Copies of this chain bind each other. A is one copy, B any other.
Amino acid sequence: MSLEFAILGFLNYHPYTGYDLKKIFDSSVRHFWPADQSQIYRTLANLTERSLVQMEKVPQDDRPDRKVYHITDSGREELRKWVAGPAPLDEPRSAPLIQVFFSGILTDEEILQKFEGYAGIMRMILERYDQVPSQLGPFEKEITSPREHFFWLLTLENGMLSMKASLEWAESIIQRIKSGQVPQE
- Chain A contact residues, CB within 8 Å of chain B: 2, 5-6, 9, 12, 28-29, 31-34, 79-80, 82-84, 86-106, 110, 114, 117-118, 121, 145-152, 154-155, 157-158, 161-162, 164-166, 168-169, 173, 182-185
B183→A98 contact, CB < 8 A: no
Question: What is the distance, in angstroms, from A114's C-beta to the closest C-beta of chain B?
Answer: 8
Instruction: Report the separation of the CA atoms of residues A94 and B88 in the bound assembly, to the nearest whole angstrom.
Output: 9
A–B pairs, 21, beta carbons within 8 Å: A6-B98, A9-B101, A28-B101, A83-B105, A84-B110, A87-B118, A87-B121, A88-B99, A89-B95, A90-B93, A90-B94, A92-B92, A100-B158, A101-B151, A101-B152, A101-B155, A104-B145, A157-B169, A161-B168, A161-B169, A164-B165
A90: which B residues are within 8 A, CB to CB? 93-96
How far, in whole Å, are A149 and B96 apart by their CA atoms in the complex?
17
Q: Tell me whether A147 and B182 are in contact (CB under 8 A).
A: yes
Contact in complex: B182, A150 (CB < 8 Å)? yes
